[in-house]
A = this chain, B = another copy of it.
Amino acid sequence: MSDIRIDAAFDSGNIEVLSVNGATATLAIPKDTHSEFKQWFHFRVAGAAGRELELRITGLEESAYPGGWPDYDACVSEDRDYWGRAPSSYDRDIEGGTLTIRYTPASDIAWFAYFAPYSMERHHDLIAEAAASEGVDHVHLGTTLDGQPLDALEMGDGEYKVWLYARQHPGETQAEWWMEGALEVLTDPADSVGRELRKRCRLHLVPNCNPDGSKRGNLRVNAAGTNLNREWADPTPEKSPEVLAIRNRMDETGVDFAMDVHGDEAIPVAFLAGYEGIPAWTDAHGDRYYRYEAILDRRTPDFQTEFGYTNAAPGKANLAMSTNQVAERFGATAMTLEMPYKDNKANPEPEQGWSPERCKMLARDCLAALLEFLDTAEG
């Protein structure tokens, strides 16, 4: 039979084909733009119907997070809508670290990705639909280095200022799926959580903070090779216009509550990270964050507090990171939400693992937790 054909010249496509032999391919992940990071992959396999594909992604010990590969199964779709998992195994000792994906498609075409992709076309569908909803304002925050618009959506008539922003790291597509779920809550007139939040808050959402990295198929950086979540202390028009535009808008609006939405390559569960170690830290300030975290933990099995990052020591917080900067600069209850690429072992979903659907449901829980947090605030 003929060799399979592998393509990646599309929105967020990213793979290098080293060799193909029948239904077996040896692959590598190209580096992010002007950067050493590499982890995100997204490609299409043609000529695949009924053949057991063996897709070997090599050189992964040099990837950004080698710890992401053990216990990871690749995402696969034949209809570009439902994303399941293809059994995968990692061997750090073969060809610089090799993830071997095995899968037998029913169709002639199958799509593989590190996580279910969220294209710029879908982004524009999301923005158009939300902008057309009653009471939603679109704000054009600025223009990226590749000339794309940086879109924000604002809504609500309350005093409490909420900022939700996602996908500073473009390969963490979980974050924009989360945004889709959040916008469903906030724009549905029948949703009592959305209705109540719009009464109490002014909400500012940036569904995609890094459109250039998204389209280019990067894991972590923008078109200039900048990791945006290390730019919040001193963003510049040359390296990080996205952060500059967002932070400027925050300066105009103020921030009481902020959630920066991410994916984590290694840890197989959803968790939050706070702002321990900022100069302005007080226990009263920090307790607000811990209280929110506890509420969210109680509300859903898809969130937990056992696993997560190590806290910074007092005074050692990195103010170049968004959560720390926003907590310090605005006194906000700020946090980084991390969702897994893998599945959580306590409550696994064998067919899909962590999935777009679960990202969207976690967004529902995060907003309902926010309402409970506001409801139960001390007087």
Contact = CB atoms under 8 A, between A and B. Distances in A.
A373 to B, nearest CB: 11
Interface stretch (A29-37, A105-113, A231-239, A325-333): A105-113
Given A138-B47, A195-B349, A302-B192, A148 B107 contact: no
A379 interface: no
Interface stretch (A127-135, A249-257, A286-294): A127-135
B44 A124 contact: yes
Given A351-B189, A352-B189, A149 B300 contact: no
A178 to B, nearest CB: 14
A132 B147 contact: no
Contact of A301 (B129, B190, B192): B192
A129 B79 contact: yes
B192 A347 contact: yes
Interface residues of A, number: 65
Nearest to A302: B192
Contact of A10 (B46, B108, B124, B196): B124
**In the complex this chain forms, how many copies of it are found?**
4
B132 A190 contact: no
Contacts of A189: 349, 351-352
B131 A301 contact: no
Contacts of A358: 190, 192
B148 A7 contact: yes
A38 to B, nearest CB: 19
Interface of A: 5, 7-11, 44, 46-47, 78-80, 106-109, 111, 119-122, 124-125, 127-129, 131-132, 136-138, 140, 143-144, 146-149, 151, 188-193, 195-196, 298-302, 347, 349, 351-352, 355, 357-358, 361, 368, 371-372, 375-376
9 contacts: A7-B149, A9-B147, A10-B148, A109-B128, A119-B121, A190-B352, A192-B358, A193-B301, A299-B299
